[in-house]
Amino acid sequence: MPVTYEPIATTTLGAAAANITFSSISSAYTDLKIIVANYKTASGTQDICLRLNGDSSTVYSFTAMRGDGTLATSNRGTAYPRAMLAPGSWSSTTVPATSIIDIFNYLGSTNKTILCKTAAEGTEANQIHVSVNLWRNTSAINSVAIFNSGSVNISAGTTATLYGIKKA
């Protein structure tokens, strides 16, 4: 019986780095899932971002919802050069965030839709966040990069695992 849900690669940063990138992604699956844990930034509070196939043209857009313990709010953005997984200065130097990112039909010939859930609890960033992103590009995805919005490094100890999910 074929494997339908398996880890492809895991990266744990031994030192602060500008991004975590999974490249040369296998075309053996239907969907991709990335679980990011212990995500912290080297300075300030930053948005957690994602880039596909190295594309930094302004073809990303998002719709998001956030709960902070008091209010549920929503925001939206267009013409971004990156996917905004948790827009609103999410990650910080001290509060680890965790994200689950689902990329659907990553080999398909449609534009790509990405769902993401992010959570963090702490004094600088204590919110739960869900988002849907659109990458207006019909290319198959072969690389995914996770990074901060403000050209700030991701802290050592951040871990990301890429999974492949294959349908029958």
Partner 1 sequence: MSGVLAGLIGSFPAGAAGAFESIASASGTGSSGTITFSSIPSTYQHLQIRGTADSSGAGTQQDLFITLNGVTSASYTWHQMRATGTGVSPSGGVSLTNASVYDAVTGNSALANVTAAIILDIHDYASTTKNKTLRLFGGFDNNGSGQLVLHSNLLINTSAISSISLISGGGANWETTTQFALYGIKGAA
Q: In the complex, which residues of this chain contact partner 1 (CB under 8 A)?
A: 1-6, 30-31, 61-65, 72-76, 78, 102, 104-105, 108-111, 113-115, 117, 130-134, 136, 138, 165-168
Distances, alpha carbon 164 to alpha carbons 28, 48, 52, 114, 155, in Å = 8, 21, 16, 14, 26
Q: SS3 of 46, please?
A: strand
Min separation Cβ 94 and partner 1, Å: 28
Residue 58 or 94 having the CB closest to partner 1: 58
Q: Are strands 5-12 and 97-103 parallel, antiparallel or unpaired?
A: unpaired
Cα gap 142→153, rounded to integer Å: 23
Residue 31 or 124 having the CB closest to partner 1: 31
Min separation Cβ 107 and partner 1, Å: 11
Residue 21 or 61 having the CB closest to partner 1: 61
